[in-house]
Amino acid sequence: MVGGSLRAAEVAAPRAAFPVDRTVVVWGGVTLLAGLLLPWTREQRELWSFSGGATGAALAARHLGVAASLLLAAAAIVAAVLPLPRFRRGQVVLALSGLGAVITFLSIWFQKVPLGLGALIVFLGYLTLAGSGISLSGLVHADPFTGATILWVAGFVVVFILLPLGEVLLASVFVRGRFTLDVLLETVRSPGFLLLNNPATPANELAQAGRIGLAGGILLAVLAVIRARRARPVLLWGVGGGAGVFVLAALYYGFGAVRNSVLLALVVGAGSTALGFLFALLGERSRLPTRRLLGPLSILPIITPPFVLGLAMIYLFGRRGFVTHQLLGLDTTIFFGPVGVAVAQILAFTPIAYLVLQGVVQALDMAMEEAAETLGASRWHVLRTVTWPLTRPGIANAFLLVAIESLADFGNPFVVGGGQPFLATQVFDAFSGRFNPNEAAVYGVTLLVMTLVVFFLQQRWIGRRGYVTVTGKPGAGALRPLPTTLDYVGTGVFLFWVVLTVALYGSVFSGSVTVLWGFDYTLTLEHLRGLRGQGMQVFQTSIMLSAVAAFPSMILGFLIAYLVTRVEFPGRSALEFGSMLSFAVPGTVMGIGYVLAFNDGPLLLTGTSIIITMAFVFRNMPVGIRAGVAAIHQLDRAIEEASTMLGAGTATTMRRIIMPLIVPALLSGLVFAFVRAVTAVSQVIFLVTPRHNLATTQILSYVQYGTLGRGAALASLLILAMAAVVLVLYLLSHRLSPRVVRQAAA
Amino acid sequence: MKRVLGLLLVLLLASLGVVSAAPAGRVNVLCSPNLVWCDAIKVEFPKATGIQLDYVRLSSGEAFARMRAEAANPSFDVWFAGTGDPHLEAVELGITEFYRPKSWNDLRPEFREAVGGKYIPLYAGILGWAQNERLLKEKGAPVPTTWKDLTNPRYKGLIAMPNPNTSGTGYTMLATIVQIYGEKAGFDLLKLIHRNIAQYTRGGADPGPLTGRGEIGIGVTFLHDAIDNILKGFPITYGSARDGTGFEIGGLSLVKGARNRDNAITFIEWALSPDGQRVAAELGQSYQIPSNSKTPVPRVAPRFQDFVMIKYDFLKYGKASVRDALIKKWSAEVFALPR
């Protein structure tokens, strides 16, 4: 919309001294017409519902705000036609539309009823006009398209990311409209939150942790003395290390959600990063033929609803599990509970670590290692003294990313957690089980604070460096092979991983076509047939809403990527931060925020498909941003400048120059957004309604109720559909990219 | 690239068209029983009435929370099945309203009295456990017959029960033990049972399949859920406490301010009719005692006369204040203990 009208305006720019500004005329007209003809409020949930009595034309006589808003739109059109200098006209339009936006906002807000399509378009129209005004008046050095885009994006980020988070924060200290710390204190003091010294046991766990911390501190200090023979490291190791050991011991002996989640994040972060690093080394430098398997395998867990593997694990490793009991004859229940969750999460999140570290290993400068070898270092010595220090920031980056994912993960603790409290599941239990949104908000805020701290560490400390290595091209120099022992041992670990993954997927598929998963292996089609009513409906809804959401996720992500990499404007870093925030915010917290923010008032959206779509869009937009930023960074600015010199506006440049050059990145962003939406659970579990139920929540229901065959059948269907989509788009992007390169070269 | 995007757009629009082409009459059901039952009414109700039924399955506790959150603007029309306590609470909070169905006088009088005529009884289920006798034998543990038996240290790591925080079944067990032994002795008993618990499950039906697969030896659950697992082919049996056991009266409620109120009432009438209630056992893998006295009781369903039933005080233990206090006490004094 924006692009088309703008292009027309610019191509046809007449030479008169004070030409009519077509953009402002068009958008002023859109605003005025929508305000007059479309309803400002709605009685039903669906945004598309129309009622004649609520149009601007009908309301204007009674409602001062509506009348003023419509008049201001008309005034903006007049300002665009009057012979005014460019910057003066910009100032006038900016003032009129700013006032219009505020009046529209206030009249929507104080009506307290759900806003209608008309009010929405009027508000967005004023944002567009204000964007043009900013541009014309020269406040920001950008064309009207860019100005409007900035305001639109900022508006969406505020409404769909900041507002829900704000609601969660408020709900933790405001109960029924009154400020109180009672819920907060009560929750924090409850044993389900964190219990360091259990009053119900005779032992004092905290004191014991203290003793262990003291012993650990002394031990580390002694070690430091032996190695360094200096005072500072001794102090550092003694005090710092001791405190670290104390915290770990206290958590280990403790109880509650914080304890479980933190320990889990540490273990999973370490495990996934170690495996991911090993696989990255193997993938780049192994001399064994298994190397080729690494790429395809890394996407497998991405196309799987996270908890499905955890569930399959129980069938393989439970007390009567296929592997543990039938093959090994063991009798163990260790995989129910935190250990099982940790293994399931390591399986699910190692690919993330792998993808990060693959870039890091690729970007290593081979010449350095070559030099070290020429100087006589063994391959192990090179690995330890050259490769390892160079990859350390990347490894820390992978660790922190995995830690965020682990903290935020809801499905695995829910399915395999064995009833132990974790932060993400406590949010759900408090909200869904104990009917207490305020308590849920307290858990949510705790989780939010923890993920944000990790996120900040990641961004400030290594995030930037991480980007460069990911987008960088491999340096010159011959490939340095791994030490032979490491190569073979590592490949052994990898093969074990492959076997495990194949077994888990096999287990899920077998569950869908056998009578009783993990028990009676007689073949049957009964579970697949059982999907005919509800199963197929939720499958369709999932695919459809995810597909609908994928496009805005990608486009919005790309626009934000463009704005933060190519345009200078005040508030740029705030916009970048706000939009990346939704990556760090756990899905359950966002879900609660959406319910709290969009359940009544002007922004009523619960119960519609729009809110689910929006949850998908803003959850997956960061994927688009990352892909976009990485891709745009590789383009030479000169190409765009040439386009601008030849008279194209930003919209044209974006559409005709940038987009074709980064098609593969856009397509992969699209696929990721789609796949992540289909497999999403936590952010939508509070939002589904009978008409808009989703496959993942339905699988969770089947699992929860022990109707495992149908759950497995639906999960298998979902996995196969995802695999097909990924494959098709993978082939498509491979076919597209060479042509793009040719075009770019020509 | 343009062609590709164009193609995708066409596909998108086509799928939109397919999904939005739906019949006019609809009813939105918040469905709390066995999912297969929900799947069955989704198919059978339109067959009987021509009204399309959409549902979301939430356990009764979750369902109540959801309805309370949306009370001002309900997205559901009717709440189907699930433990009675939250149905009672919902009526008292004005989230649902009492609707007197045409078949009111056909409903079993003892059910109507037990719930004080405050919500519509849909079925009754008896609390008990599923037991995996093979595993118990392997472990040298006897088959339990009372709640007290469950404290036997031989059962360590062999028992699963639903967490009262999330499950109506779990709360029914908690309230049953408190009603039999009093609060002090009851909690002492629960603390001893706690030492043997392998897993607190989220939902009330979860312990059944766990027992079936032999993860645990005893899974506290409603008997109709245990029977469902037996009929599915799991090698288990069911039993119940001889020192007394509680029961639930599943509810059916009309949501206040339902947008499809007429269709909701049609649904309620159908769900209480013998034809509607037969769906449970015949297609829904659910074997409770149906509330309509004209509905044949499923052959496999457990009967009250075969068990030692306590006089479960629904009006007292269904009250939010009593319930919250008991669950809070349990969470602090029992759940937090090491096992």
The closest CB to that of B75, out of A540, A606, A710, belongs to A606
Q: Express as a percent the part of chain B with pLDDT over 90.
A: 62
Using a CB-CB cut-off of 8 Å, the residues of chain A touching B15 are 540, 543-544, 547
Q: Tell me, what CATH number does B110's domain have?
A: 3.40.190.10
The closest CB to that of B157, out of A333, A515, A693, belongs to A333
Position of tokens 């192990």? A380
Note whether B327 contacts A434, CB cutoff 8 Å. Answer: yes
Using a CB-CB cut-off of 8 Å, the residues of chain B touching A659 are 1
The gap between the terminal CA atoms of chain B, to the nearest Å, is 61
- Residues B31 and B140 reside in one and the same domain: no
pLDDT at A741: 45
Note whether B34 contacts A693, CB cutoff 8 Å. Answer: no
Note whether B65 contacts A606, CB cutoff 8 Å. Answer: no
Note whether A191 contacts B69, CB cutoff 8 Å. Answer: no
- The pLDDT-based confidence of B17 (bands split at 50, 70, 90) is very low
Mean pLDDT over residues B45-53, rounded?
A: 93
- Å between B110 CA and nearest CA of chain A: 29
pLDDT, mean over chain A? 83
Note whether A595 contacts B35, CB cutoff 8 Å. Answer: no
Using a CB-CB cut-off of 8 Å, the residues of chain B touching A595 are 69
Q: Express as a percent the part of chain A with pLDDT over 90.
A: 18
- The pLDDT-based confidence of A17 (bands split at 50, 70, 90) is low
Q: Are A264 and A251 spatial neighbours (Cβ–Cβ below 8 Å)? A: no
- The pLDDT-based confidence of A164 (bands split at 50, 70, 90) is very high
Mean pLDDT over residues A664-683, rounded?
A: 86
- Residues B212 and B288 reside in one and the same domain: no
- Å between B206 CA and nearest CA of chain A: 6
Residue A15 has pLDDT above 50, yes or no: no
**pLDDT tens digits, one per residue of A399-447:** 988 998 899 888 889 888 877 889 998 888 888 776 788 888 999 999 9
Q: Are B257 and B70 spatial neighbours (Cβ–Cβ below 8 Å)? A: no
pLDDT at B271: 96
Using a CB-CB cut-off of 8 Å, the residues of chain B touching A314 are 215
- Residues B34 and B69 reside in one and the same domain: yes
- Residues B197 and B331 reside in one and the same domain: yes
The reported pTM is 0.83
Q: Which fold has domain A255-503?
A: MetI-like fold (1.10.3720)
- The pLDDT-based confidence of A473 (bands split at 50, 70, 90) is very low
Note whether B15 contacts A414, CB cutoff 8 Å. Answer: no
Residue B315 burial (CB count, 10 A): 12
Residue B217 has pLDDT above 90, yes or no: yes
Mean pLDDT over residues B159-176, rounded?
A: 90
> Which of A426, A432, A554, A734 is the best mutation test for B, with the most CBs of B within 10 A?
A432
The closest CB to that of B331, out of A45, A192, A333, belongs to A192
**pLDDT tens digits, one per residue of A190-217:** 878 888 877 767 778 888 888 888 888 8
Would you call A515 helix, strand, or coil by DSSP?
Answer: strand
In a domain, B280, yes or no: yes
- Residues B102 and B223 reside in one and the same domain: no
Note whether A707 contacts B203, CB cutoff 8 Å. Answer: no
Six token digits for residue B235: 């090698």
The closest CB to that of A534, out of B42, B72, B198, belongs to B42
- Residues B43 and B120 reside in one and the same domain: yes
In a domain, B35, yes or no: yes
Note whether A732 contacts B4, CB cutoff 8 Å. Answer: yes
Mean pLDDT over residues A52-63, rounded?
A: 80
A634 touches chain B (CB under 8 A): no
Question: Where do the structural domains in chain A lie, given as residue ranges?
Answer: 1-139, 196-254, 255-503, 525-746
Residue A13 has pLDDT above 60, yes or no: no
B54 touches chain A (CB under 8 A): yes
Mean pLDDT over residues A279-293, rounded?
A: 83
pLDDT at B202: 79
- Å between B105 CA and nearest CA of chain A: 31
Return the closest-CA partner of residue A423 out of A187, A242, A237, A206: A187
pLDDT at A478: 57
Residues of B (215-254) whose Cβ lies below 8 Å from A: 215-216, 229, 232-234
Please give the backbone phi and psi of residue A174, each rounded to the nearest 5 degrees, phi first. Answer: -110, 115
Residues of A (174-193) whose Cβ lies below 8 Å from B: 190-192
| Continuous H helices in A238-305 | 242-253, 257-285, 294-299
The closest CB to that of A333, out of B36, B62, B215, belongs to B215
Amino acid at A666: L
Mean pLDDT over residues A155-183, rounded?
A: 89
pLDDT at A745: 38
When comparing pLDDT for B29 and A358, which is higher? B29
Note whether A434 contacts B19, CB cutoff 8 Å. Answer: no
The closest CB to that of B206, out of A519, A688, A704, belongs to A704
Complete DSSP assignment for A65-125:
HHHHHHHHHHHHHHHHHS---HHHHHHHHHHHHHHHHHHHHHHHHHH-S-B-HHHHHHHHH
Mean pLDDT over residues B124-151, rounded?
A: 94
B21 touches chain A (CB under 8 A): no
Mean pLDDT over residues A102-112, rounded?
A: 86
In a domain, B263, yes or no: yes
State the pairing for strand pair B78-80/B26-31: parallel
Residues of A (342-371) whose Cβ lies below 8 Å from B: none
- Residues B220 and B136 reside in one and the same domain: yes
Amino acid at A392: R
DSSP element (H, E) containing A487: helix A484-513
In a domain, B112, yes or no: yes
- The pLDDT-based confidence of B326 (bands split at 50, 70, 90) is very high
Same fold, A255-503 and A525-746: yes
**pLDDT tens digits, one per residue of B185-209:** 999 999 999 999 988 887 888 899 8
- Residues B139 and B114 reside in one and the same domain: no
Residue A474 has pLDDT above 50, yes or no: no
Give the integer Cα–Cα distance in Å for B319 and A362: 64
ipTM for the predicted complex: 0.78
- Residues B224 and B210 reside in one and the same domain: yes
In a domain, B57, yes or no: yes
Mean pLDDT over residues A291-314, rounded?
A: 77
A395 touches chain B (CB under 8 A): no
pLDDT at A477: 52
Note whether B35 contacts A320, CB cutoff 8 Å. Answer: no
Q: Are A583 and A622 spatial neighbours (Cβ–Cβ below 8 Å)? A: yes
**pLDDT tens digits, one per residue of B265-315:** 999 999 999 999 999 999 988 999 999 999 999 999 999 999 999 999 988
The closest CB to that of B198, out of A333, A429, A732, belongs to A333
Complete DSSP assignment for B7-50:
HHHHHHHHHHHHHH---S-EEEEEE-S-HHHHHHHHHHHHHHHS
DSSP element (H, E) containing A179: strand A178-179
- Residues B169 and B271 reside in one and the same domain: no
Q: What is the extent of the structural domain holding B176? A: 126-247+319-335
In a domain, B313, yes or no: no
> Which of A534, A537, A663, A733 is the best mutation test for B, with the most CBs of B within 10 A?
A534
Residues of B (157-216) whose Cβ lies below 8 Å from A: 157, 163, 165-167, 198-203, 205-206, 208-209, 212-216
Please give the backbone phi and psi of residue B122, each rounded to the nearest 5 degrees, phi first. Answer: -110, -35
Q: Express as a percent the part of chain A with pLDDT over 70.
A: 91
- Residues B197 and B48 reside in one and the same domain: no
Note whether A663 contacts B1, CB cutoff 8 Å. Answer: yes
- The pLDDT-based confidence of A666 (bands split at 50, 70, 90) is confident
Highest mean pLDDT among A50-64, A66-80, A462-476: A66-80
Give the integer Cα–Cα distance in Å for B84 and B62: 13
- Residues B68 and B209 reside in one and the same domain: no
**pLDDT tens digits, one per residue of A500-539:** 888 888 888 988 898 887 677 888 888 888 888 888 999 9
In a domain, B16, yes or no: no
Complete DSSP assignment for B230-298:
HHHT-S-EEE--TT-B-EEEEEEEEETT-TTHHHHHHHHHHHHSHHHHHHHHHTS----EESBTTSPPP
CA dihedral A527, A529, A531, A533 (to 10 degrees): -150
- The pLDDT-based confidence of A469 (bands split at 50, 70, 90) is very low
CATH architecture of the domain covering A525-746: Orthogonal Bundle (1.10)
pLDDT at A8: 46
**pLDDT tens digits, one per residue of A597-641:** 888 788 888 878 899 999 999 988 887 887 788 788 778 888 888
In chain B, how many domains are there? 2
Note whether B166 contacts A414, CB cutoff 8 Å. Answer: no
Six token digits for residue B188: 């002492």
